[in-house]
């Protein structure tokens, strides 16, 4: 969390009455307020069509913070103070004149509160609404040019950032028609997670791991983003999206970058992002045959989670009964660079898995000689380093140890570091960190244009091949299982298997 003093600014949330504002943004802002990270003058202005006025928004945000916030029970006094920062401007972001009206309201509020007019526009709106809003922001004079000194204007853009490479490029062009790159904060909340940030600290803030972090010592890497939830009422969204776009294009590839990137020359925005782009550009392009060989699509059928029966994807609301949309994806990628040549990275993401777990597992090569062979120890389990992103955040190292006793028997044991044990106290939500960074103008943990486009390039290649080769076996995994058989075969072909976290 940034240690510099709070920045006085106006935060505007487009989509102020929506799910993201309720579940994440306003609870995170409330926490920033409670912990003294918001400047005294700072105001938060919601925009949307479904809320009447300030009072109605405050009431609904109070309910949201009580339900989704970290502070239970809600600290009434803190809420009272925080709620005086909240305002709602009812209007249609696609209507240019509504934004002109909004500008007058913002200016009046800023004058009243002694704010300089610096503004953070948070776009918690559907992808199709982004480009029209950006154009209207520019036309209404709501964007201060970076060249002129004085107040700043920045936008935070939520994922999905585009639908494929072409639409991501088009969206970037539209945004750049109004904003400069350094004003654009493309958010991926996985980058705000403490444990994601810790991957670089672990690798580069310690002396002993980095020398092993390469093809000489690493056999392969597995990255898993498993969720036990299904599509949670987002059937319509998922029908258009699928897990490759929803989770792999952004969260999983960002985790891949954290593990695979070279040390940046400095821990500053462009240096870090330069290295991530290099990783994405080093991913080996795949031919259609390779895509079909090295990817697996899955879709969940009815099953049970924690002993409770749950419906299949095709039975979810707003999902076609014949849907071919994937709720699981596995993907073997190769990174063709000096460090990683020949080390496969196996990526997987799935809904309705047996449990919620995100982890990066690095499997090391086995020793060159089975020294204890003569004593009956024929095979040695490889060392595995597991970076647990969530839940149960921590890091574990599996290694062989001699079982106590007169004979030579080797067992696999584990050294385990748990965040909860080492650092007591509040854990910060990813959105808190990212909102604060955006207020401070620090884009290290946000995706740059070329990064997003490089990720889309590979994902679009897979999507194109998939579109031309519709699957015939969906649904192919039951809720509460670790995915389709084909994903196990993908690993078995290489003489490996997925971890069961």
Q: What positions carry a catalytic annotation?
A: 251
The whole-angstrom distance between residue 239's C-alpha and the CA centroid of its chain comes to 20
Name residues whose C-beta falls within 8 Å of residue 374's C-beta, 6 or more positions apart in sequence: none
Site string for ligand BG6, 242-261 (x = CB under 6 A): ----xx--------------
Residue 294 within binding range of ligand BG6, rule CB under 6 A: no
Which is nearer to ligand BG6, 227 or 437 (by Cβ)? 227
Tokens 């040549």 belong to residue = 341
By CB under 6 A, the count of residues binding ligand BG6 is 4
Measured from the CB of residue 225, what is the shortest distance to ligand BG6 in angstroms? 7
Residue closer to ligand BG6 by CB (options 57, 328) is 328
Nearer to ligand BG6, 193 or 458 (CB): 193
Nearer to ligand BG6, 85 or 314 (CB): 314
Measured over the CA atoms of residue 205, residue 208, residue 209 and residue 211, the dihedral's sign is: positive
Angle at 280 between CA 230 and CA 486, to 5 degrees: 45
Evaluate the CA torsion angle 138, 141, 142, 143 in order and state its sign: positive
By three-state DSSP, how is residue 429 classified? coil
Least distance to ligand BG6, CB of residue 484, Å: 19
Distance in Å, CB of 189 to ligand BG6, minimum? 6
CB of residue 301 to ligand BG6, shortest distance in Å: 19
Q: In this complex, which beta carbon is closest to ligand BG6, that of residue 356 or of residue 497?
A: 356
- Region of residue 352 (left: phi > 0; alpha: psi -120 to 50; beta: else): left
For 127, the token pair is 């992808």
Residue 501 contacts residue 222 (beta carbons within 8 Å)? no
Residue nearest to ligand BG6 (CB): 246
* Contact between residue 88 and residue 56 where contact means Cβ atoms under 8 Å apart: yes
In the complex, minimum distance from the CB of residue 173 to ligand BG6, in angstroms, rounded to a whole number: 24
Footprint on residues 168-227 left by ligand BG6 (CB under 6 A): 189, 227
The two structure tokens encoding residue 424: 């007591």
- Within 10 angstroms of residue 498's Cβ, the number of other Cβ atoms is 18
- Token pair of 179 as six digits: 């904003």
* Residues in contact with ligand BG6 by the rule CB under 6 A: 189, 227, 246-247
């Amino acid at each position: 969390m940034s240690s510099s003093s709070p920045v006085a600014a106006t935060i505007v949330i487009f989509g102020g009455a929506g799910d993201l504002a309720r579940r994440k943004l306003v609870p995170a802002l409330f926490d920033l307020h409670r912990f003294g990270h918001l400047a005294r003058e700072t105001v938060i202005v919601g925009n949307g069509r479904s809320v009447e006025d300030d009072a109605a928004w405050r009431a609904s945000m109070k309910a949201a913070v009580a339900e989704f916030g970290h502070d239970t029970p809600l600290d009434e006094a803190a809420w009272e103070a925080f709620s005086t920062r909240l305002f709602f401007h009812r209007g249609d972001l696609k209507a240019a004149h509504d934004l002109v009206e909004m500008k007058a309201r913002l200016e009046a509020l800023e004058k009243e509160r002694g704010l300089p007019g610096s503004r953070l526009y948070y776009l918690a709106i559907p992808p199709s609404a982004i480009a029209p809003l950006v154009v209207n922001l520019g036309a209404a004079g709501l964007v201060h040019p970076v060249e002129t000194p004085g107040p700043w204007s920045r936008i935070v853009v939520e994922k999905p950032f585009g639908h494929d490479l072409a639409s991501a490029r088009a969206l970037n062009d539209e945004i750049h028609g109004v904003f400069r790159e350094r004003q654009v904060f493309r958010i991926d909340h996985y980058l705000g997670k403490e444990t994601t940030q810790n991957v670089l600290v672990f690798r580069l803030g310690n002396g002993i791991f980095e020398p092993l972090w390469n093809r000489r010592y690493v056999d392969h890497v597995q990255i898993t983003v498993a969720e036990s939830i299904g599509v949670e009422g987002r059937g319509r969204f998922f029908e258009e999206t699928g897990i490759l776009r929803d989770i792999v294009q952004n969260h999983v590839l960002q985790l891949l970058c954290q593990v695979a990137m070279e040390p940046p020359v400095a821990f500053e925005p462009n240096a870090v992002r330069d290295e991530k782009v290099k990783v994405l550009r080093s991913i080996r392009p795949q031919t259609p045959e390779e895509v079909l060989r090295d990817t697996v699509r899955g879709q969940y059928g009815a099953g049970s989670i924690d002993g409770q029966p749950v419906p299949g994807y095709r039975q979810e609301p707003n999902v076609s009964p014949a849907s071919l949309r994937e709720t699981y994806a596995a993907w073997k990628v190769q990174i063709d660079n000096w460090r990683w040549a020949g080390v496969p990275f196996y990526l997987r993401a799935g809904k309705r898995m047996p449990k919620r777990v995100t982890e990066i597992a690095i499997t090391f090569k086995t020793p060159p000689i089975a020294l204890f062979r003569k004593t009956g120890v024929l095979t040695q389990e490889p060392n595995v380093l597991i970076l647990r992103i969530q839940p149960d955040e921590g890091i574990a190292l599996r290694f062989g140890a001699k079982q106590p006793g007169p004979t030579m028997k080797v067992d696999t044991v584990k050294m385990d570091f748990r965040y909860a044990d080492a650092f007591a106290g509040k854990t910060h939500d990813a959105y808190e960190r990212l909102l604060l960074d955006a207020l401070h103008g620090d884009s290290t943990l946000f995706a740059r244009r070329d990064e997003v486009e490089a990720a889309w390039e590979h994902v679009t290649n897979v999507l194109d091949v998939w579109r031309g080769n519709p699957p015939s076996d969906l649904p192919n995994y039951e809720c509460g299982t670790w995915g389709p058989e084909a994903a196990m075969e993908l690993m078995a072909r290489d003489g490996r298997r997925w971890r069961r976290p």
